[in-house]
A = this chain, B = another copy of it.
């Protein structure tokens, strides 16, 4: 096989991996298929990443790198934190396939530490004692993550699952008549507010 004209780069590989995951789901990402999409053999990828897990870690880091908080920043700490968690949820909903990834390799990489520390710094402006801030942070992360997880209504289960995809009914879908979607952002914001005001002793 004729080699590629330009050498592969880490970024190129991560881009292809995200595209593949977004298009076909996590299960569709195999080393052979990823390499195939790049016009290369599977083992070539091991020159750029030590393992598949390392690629997945890179994918998570890249997705987090896309997180943007809309300017201008609100002054008030609750509004600021709300924007940060909305951004968190939005990036997860935009890349539903990566949610399961994030689930079991949460911010393994160095540079994603910012996305942990930044919201904590904002919550600290509330003046609550440190322990309460930790609990509040926990609650907000858990809620945002869970919401994004359920909101990724495209089931990540393979299409040839034992059950036909058409028949799958999610709890909320069955209960409320529709799945959670990105249009639920207002409810998401509202609940964030309830949690924060609750902790702030409102």
A50 contacts partner chain B, Cβ-Cβ < 8 Å: yes
How far is A57 from B161 in the complex, measured between Cα atoms in Å? Answer: 11
Contacting pair B146 A187 (CB below 8 A): no
How far is A163 from B117 in the complex, measured between Cα atoms in Å? Answer: 21
Cβ of A18 to closest chain B Cβ, rounded Å? 18
Contacting pair A174 B116 (CB below 8 A): yes
**A168/B108 contact (C-beta < 8 A), A50-B162, A138-B176 known:** yes
A175 contact set on B, CB distance < 8 A: 116-117, 120, 134, 137
A65 contact set on B, CB distance < 8 A: none
**Looking at the complex, which one of B143, B149, B156, B176 makes contact with A134 (CB distance below 8 Å)?**
B176
Contacting pair B143 A139 (CB below 8 A): yes
Query: Please, how many residues of chain A have a CB less than 8 angstroms from a CB on the other chain?
Result: 55
Pick the interface stretch among A7-15, A73-81, A99-107. A99-107
A180 contacts partner chain B, Cβ-Cβ < 8 Å: yes
**Looking at the complex, which one of B108, B156, B161, B195 makes contact with A53 (CB distance below 8 Å)?**
B161
Which A18-71 residues sit within 8 Å CB-CB of chain B? 50-51, 53-54, 57
A198 contacts partner chain B, Cβ-Cβ < 8 Å: yes
A184 contacts partner chain B, Cβ-Cβ < 8 Å: yes
Interface residues, chain A, with chain B CB atoms under 8 Å away: 50-51, 53-54, 57, 100, 103-108, 113, 116-117, 120, 131, 134-135, 137-139, 141-147, 149-150, 155-157, 161-163, 168, 170-172, 174-176, 180, 184, 187, 190-191, 193-195, 197-199
- A-B residue pairs, 4 tightest by C-beta: A146-B146, A194-B198, A134-B176, A142-B146
A-B contact pairs, 24 of them (CB 8 A): A53-B163, A57-B163, A103-B149, A104-B156, A106-B150, A106-B170, A107-B170, A108-B163, A116-B171, A134-B175, A135-B184, A137-B172, A138-B172, A138-B176, A139-B147, A139-B187, A141-B171, A142-B143, A146-B146, A193-B198, A194-B195, A194-B198, A195-B198, A198-B198
